[in-house]
Amino acid sequence: MVKVKNPDEIAHLITTGSYEKKRLFSIVAHIDHGKTTATDYLLRRAGLMREEDAGQLQMTDSDEEEQARGITIFTSVVLLAFNDSRKPDDEPYILQINDTPGHISFTGEVSRALRGSDGAIILVDALEGVMTQTETNIRLAVGEEYCKPVLFINKVDRLISELKLSPTDTFMKIDKISKQVNELIKKIRPEGSQWSVDFAKNSVAVGSAKHGWGFTYEILLEKGLTPQDVFAKYTEGDIQWLRENLPLDEPMLRMVVDHLPNPVEAASYRIPHIWGGDLNSELGQALQKSDPNGPLYGMITKIFLDPRRGYQPTLIGRVFSGTFRLSDSIYLVNNRTSNRVKRLGVMEITDLLDIPKIPAGNLFALYGFICPSGETFMAASDVPKDKNEAKLLPSFEKIQYACEPVVSRSIKPRDPHEIDKLDTVVSKWLQADPTAMYRRDKESGEFILSGIDPLQIEILTKRINNQVPILIGEPIIVYREKITKKSKLFYTKSANAHNRILLYIEPLDKTTEKLIETGKITDLMHDKDRAKILREDAGWDAKEARRIVDVYQGSLLVNGTSGLQRFEKVKSYLTAAFRDWLGECILAKEPAAGFKIVFTDMTIHEDTRHTSYGQIAGMAFSAMSLAMLDADPHLFEPIQRIDVKTPDGTEGPVNAIITKRRGRITNVIPEGEYVRVQGTIPAAETIGIADDIRGSTQGRAFFGYEFDGFNKVPKSIEEDLILEIRKRKNMPDHLANASSWDRFIYKKT
């Protein structure tokens, strides 16, 4: 239980405080760079922690699993009323802070937190410098979500105490990190902005979260101090003096209020980027002004499932327009359902502080129902009565994630009677974390749970097992089945011979595939809106762009017929068959992606008794399978970018470990006493690599990795790998061939 020191003040600042005094931001960093330790000092400032506990308690790591592993897994939200010491009589600021995970396994939490933020504190370890996840976080914050950055360089005490660097060398190191961060920011910052970080302009702070001190250039001038004074205190062993005279929370909070935008400032450039509606409409204008008097519109960004409360869901999100009241029924735009709210307020780590209304420009938390993270909502009373109009309601853009689910484990209940309960529990966890996914294997009855890496799956399965005892399979890499050329036309019939389809398959162009991946085009869009994007962004023919039947898993189903009769009778069956086939494709029942499937003719029997799902799916499966075999299909494997920072002289063994595992070295960069080794490596080869790297460098190397895409499996191992996967899935022990679908081929007489 978190004891909120000043709930009335927080409620007042949320509901009636001036927008100039609001800041919504996330703290992001590579794993173990000190984010949560630094956040302790903000909690101390908020009155949520004792002075002696700051830097030790890591209070936002409230989950038992986080405490046991010493890492952040779930984003924690903290609200802080902050009086600026430079303006003591002024109205307090209300700061709404997301402490996010640094491990790649939980990067989805970072993406969701950033959607509800306007700014970001980028935190970097002074010793390790800019690492893989640092780069990812800067890309997500600045490039994807338009969150303005400031920089805190942490663990400067290690440069002084461990490396024994001189003040000059220390500041050369700090300056180098600042320049690296700026290079990344300048590549991806919003067009027209001049975003950067600069110690001379007080948007860079340096210090030590472990020892509780930090400063900006402004603070040194105010105190009449120099960096050499900090070094002198370390020589004297007087850390307490630094903690008392240069408290860490002060430079962090000053950077936030001086350099990060308030909600009204941020809305003017963020809303056109993250919302796809008409900016000139009443709603569009209200969103761009973060207007509390406009129509209610917001987004659910996080689902918190608290193990101490039976995993009851708390929905966390942001109001972007209007005022959210406890009495409101809200309509979920993508889910197309209305829901009542039981409790409304704001989060303080694990507890909800009740507040009856939340105006635009604030985070919120609610109890009452569950929906997927990323859902757009509005007031149910504002939903158009016309169903077609309601379908056209604009939603916020899809949240972009840095990784894809490339590792799977099978799970099934220990008690077979709990299969439906397992389905419910897994669905709830995947609504909370859409970076994971699952499907049910029709033959074995098992659920196949897929995630970013083994750690994410391990955490999820532990959560699921707490609610439904399960049996868990070994980690398995998830591949993709793709084609490399256009097929010829294939004509097939249903088992009852009353229905026929003629189609071909070709690889989807990269631009269209990217539009699907980023959520720019979806199956829920109006045909005209989707066609316009395909025409303008991907150069599609106008007529063909309007004839898309379904969008799924990076692939499209297109109606290439003219004057087709009775199609509406079987459209849902054909769409379901398209999705089922893509989910478990023909090479090895791995997911397919990047397909454009065009049917150019179709015969549909007039009697619905002859057009069941089984009949339509049978002819569709056979036509798509035959076409795929003709389109030069291959297995593609997930590739990770790996980034290792290792002591000078140990890079040779690191290079050997990567290349031995089918990896490729792309860069070897000397960085003082360290060498940075960068490369790519198949995800299948990363299992156990941590132990190898630690063993070859006596545990002194730091490393991280990031999803880089899918590459074709090398020809020398492809066939053996396919047969190995088929054997594991109890499929026939030979490669797929056309004979399996011969009986469905339609031959004109």
User: Distance (Å, rounded) from C-alpha 549 to C-alpha 527?
Assistant: 9
Helix, strand and coil in the chain, % to nearest 5: 40, 25, 35
User: Distance (Å, rounded) from C-alpha 396 to C-alpha 465?
Assistant: 34
Helices (H), ranges, 433-519: 454-467, 510-517
Interhelix angle 35-46/249-259, rounded to 10 degrees, is 90
Closest Cα partner for 80 from 100, 102, 99, 58? 99
For residue 53, give the DSSP letter: G
Asked if 558 and 544 count as a contact pair (C-beta separation under 8 A), the reply is yes
The string of pLDDT tens digits covering residues 674-722 is 888 999 999 889 878 888 888 888 888 877 777 888 999 999 999 999 9
Instruction: Give the architecture-level CATH label for domain 635-713.
Output: 2-Layer Sandwich (3.30)
Between 305 and 121, whose confidence is greater? 121
CA 663 to chain centre: 26
Residue type, 83: N
Most confident of 61-65, 265-269, 522-526, 692-696: 265-269
User: Distance (Å, rounded) from C-alpha 406 to C-alpha 436?
Assistant: 9
- Structure tokens that stand for 475 in this block: 């980690």
Helices (H), ranges, 4-140: 7-16, 35-46, 64-69, 107-115, 132-138
User: How buried is 27 (Cβ within 10 angstroms: 0-12 exposed, 13-18 middle, 19+ buried)?
Assistant: buried
Q: Are both 407-478 and 482-631+733-744 of the same fold? A: no
Beta-sheet strands, E only, within 210-348: 213-215, 297-306, 312-321, 323-325, 329-332, 337-340, 343-348
Average pLDDT for 23-45:
82
Most confident of 202-216, 436-450, 639-653: 202-216
Residue 707 has a pLDDT of 83
Asked if 680 and 667 count as a contact pair (C-beta separation under 8 A), the reply is no
Between 522 and 53, whose confidence is greater? 522
Asked if 588 and 725 count as a contact pair (C-beta separation under 8 A), the reply is yes
Question: Would you kindly state where each structural domain of the chain is located, as residue ranges?
Answer: 7-261, 266-391, 407-478, 482-631+733-744, 635-713
Asked if 491 and 501 count as a contact pair (C-beta separation under 8 A), the reply is yes
Q: Which residues pair with 97 in a beta bridge?
A: 25, 78
- Structure tokens that stand for 331 in this block: 């309509």
The string of pLDDT tens digits covering residues 388-397 is 888 888 898 8
Q: Mapped to the 3 state alphabet, what secondary structure does 346-375 carry? A: EEECCEEEECCEEECCEEEEEECCCCCCCC
Average pLDDT for 197-221:
95
595-603 and 555-559: which strand pairing? parallel
Report how far apart, in Å, the C-alpha atoms of 578 and of each of 315, 569, 585, 618 are.
Answer: 33, 16, 10, 11
Residue 462 has a pLDDT of 87
Q: How confident is the model at residue 510 (pLDDT cuts 50, 70, 90)?
A: very high
User: Distance (Å, rounded) from C-alpha 321 to C-alpha 302?
Assistant: 18
DSSP of 105-148 = GGHHHHHHHHHT-SEEEEEEETTT-S-HHHHHHHIIIIIIT-PE
Residue 53 has a pLDDT of 45
CA 679 to chain centre: 23
The string of pLDDT tens digits covering residues 316-345 is 999 999 999 999 999 999 889 999 999 999
User: Distance (Å, rounded) from C-alpha 85 to C-alpha 485?
Assistant: 66
Q: How confident is the model at residue 115 (pLDDT cuts 50, 70, 90)?
A: very high
Asked if 56 and 86 count as a contact pair (C-beta separation under 8 A), the reply is no
- Mean pLDDT (the chain) is 88
Residues 6+ away with beta carbon under 8 Å from 13: 21, 22, 81, 92, 94
User: Distance (Å, rounded) from C-alpha 252 to C-alpha 736?
Assistant: 60
Fold adopted by 407-478: Alpha-Beta Plaits (3.30.70)
DSSP of 501-546 = EEEEEEEPPHHHHHHHHTTSS-TTS-HHHHHHHHHHHH---HHHHT
pLDDT higher than 50, residue 45: yes
Closest Cα partner for 464 from 501, 391, 410? 410
Residue 391 has a pLDDT of 83
- Can you count the helices (H) and strands (E) in the chain? 24, 32
Average pLDDT for 346-358:
85
pLDDT higher than 60, residue 103: no
Residue 36 has a pLDDT of 79
Query: What count of other Cβ atoms lies within 10 Å of the Cβ of residue 423?
Result: 15
Q: Mapped to the 3 state alphabet, what secondary structure does 228-262 carry? A: HHHHHHHHHCCHHHHHHHCECHHHHHHHHHHHCCC
- Structure tokens that stand for 293 in this block: 């008097």
Residue 102 has a pLDDT of 52
pLDDT higher than 80, residue 309: no
Residues, the chain, total?
Answer: 749
pLDDT higher than 80, residue 48: no
User: Distance (Å, rounded) from C-alpha 111 to C-alpha 400?
Assistant: 7
Asked if 316 and 374 count as a contact pair (C-beta separation under 8 A), the reply is no
Residue 375 has a pLDDT of 93
Residues 6+ away with beta carbon under 8 Å from 497: none
Phi-psi region of 472 (alpha: psi -120 to 50; beta: other; left: phi over 0): beta
Asked if 157 and 210 count as a contact pair (C-beta separation under 8 A), the reply is yes
Query: What count of other Cβ atoms lies within 10 Å of the Cβ of residue 392?
Result: 13
pLDDT higher than 50, residue 49: no
User: Distance (Å, rounded) from C-alpha 602 to C-alpha 569?
Assistant: 12
Residue 455 has a pLDDT of 75
Fold adopted by 266-391: Elongation Factor Tu (Ef-tu); domain 3 (2.40.30)
Three-state DSSP at 446 gives coil
When mean pLDDT is compared across 4-13, 280-289, 429-438, 636-645, the lowest value belongs to 4-13
pLDDT higher than 50, residue 163: yes
Closest Cα partner for 681 from 650, 703, 699, 705? 705
Fold adopted by 7-261: Rossmann fold (3.40.50)
User: Distance (Å, rounded) from C-alpha 587 to C-alpha 591?
Assistant: 10
The CATH code of the domain at 482-631+733-744 is 3.30.230.10
548-552 and 702-712: which strand pairing? unpaired
Residue appearing with tokens 């809303």: 271
Average pLDDT for 348-353:
78
pLDDT higher than 70, residue 79: yes
User: Distance (Å, rounded) from C-alpha 642 to C-alpha 663?
Assistant: 9
Report how far apart, in Å, the C-alpha atoms of 85 and of each of 90, 91, 234, 242 are.
Answer: 9, 11, 27, 18
- pLDDT above 90 as % of the chain: 55
User: Distance (Å, rounded) from C-alpha 659 to C-alpha 681?
Assistant: 8
Most confident of 40-44, 131-135, 225-229, 522-526: 225-229
The string of pLDDT tens digits covering residues 212-253 is 999 999 999 999 998 888 888 988 889 999 999 999 999 999
Q: How confident is the model at residue 308 (pLDDT cuts 50, 70, 90)?
A: confident
Report how far apart, in Å, the C-alpha atoms of 666 and of each of 275, 676, 678, 694 are.
Answer: 37, 11, 6, 21
For residue 679, give the DSSP letter: E
